[in-house]
Structure 1
C-alpha cells in the first residue's frame, strides 16, 4: 500500500475548508444584495449578518479545531511508518464525518445530529491517537 495515499483525505479536508470560504463569500454577497446586513455593525459583530452567513462562518471556525489534530496525526502516523489499511480507513472516516458535519451545520443545523457527527469524528481521532501511541511505544 502506498503510504502517501493518506494525504488524499488530508487534501479533501483542506478542499472542504476552502469550499466553505467560497460558500461564505457567496452568502455574504447575497445578504448584502438583499439588504440583510447591519452595515454599521458588520465589521466587528457577527450578529450583524443573517443566520445563513453566521452558520457558514461558525462552520469555518470548526474547520480549525479537530481538523488541526487530524493534520498532525496524519503527519505523525506517516512519519512513524504506521500508514496501513486501518490508518487509511480512519482518515477517510474522519473526513467523511467532517463533510457530513459541514452539510448539517450549514444546512438544517440540527444540533443533536451535528453533535453525533462531531463525536464520531472525535472518536476516530482518539483511535488514530491510540494507534500512533501504540506504534511509538510497541514499535
Structure 2
C-alpha cells in the first residue's frame, strides 16, 4: 500500500503534467500552425498566457507542500490530519487553475489561493508541532 501522502503528491505532479499538455495545445497554432483560424490567428491566444502563468504557479507555493509531505513521510508520522490537508491542497490547486485559466476574476483567484495557502501552513504546523514533541 503506498504511503498516504504519495498519492496527493503524485496527483499534483499529474495536474502539472496536464497543464503542460494544455499549454502545448494552446501554443500549437502559433508554433506548428496546427489548429490556426482561417485568418491565421491562434484561437487559444487569450488562454495561452493564463495557462502559462498557472503552470508557473505550480512550482512556487506547492514546493512547500511537497517538502512538508516528504518530511512527514521520512518521519513515518502520517495521521488523518496531514492526509486531509494534502487533499484540500490538491483540490484547491485544481480549483485555482480553473479560476485562473477560465476567468479574469482576480478576487476569486485570491480567495481560492487562500485555501492552498492555509492548507500548506497547517501542514507545516503539523510538521513543526510533531518535531517539537518528538
TM category (shorter chain) comes to 0.7 to 0.9
C-alpha distance in structure 2 between counterparts of 1:102 and 1:75, whole Å: 24
In structure 2, what is the equivalent of residue 44 of structure 1? none
Q: Check whether the contact 2:26–2:45 (CA below 8 A) recurs between aligned residues.
A: no
Could you report, residue by residue, the CA deviation over 1:28-70 in whole angstroms, capped at 9, with x for unpaired residues? 1145523336xxxxxxxxxxx9321100000000000011111
CA shift for structure 1 position 109: 3.2
- Is 1:63 the equivalent of 2:68? no
C-alpha distance in structure 1 between counterparts of 2:17 and 2:78, whole Å: 26
**What is the TM-score normalised by the length of structure 1?**
0.84
Aligned pairs for 1:72-111 (under 5 A) are: 72-111=67-106
**RMSD between superposed Cα atoms in Å:** 1.7
- Is 1:126 the equivalent of 2:121? yes
- Is 1:51 the equivalent of 2:50? no
Aligned structure 1 segments of 4 or more residues deviating by more than 4 angstroms: none
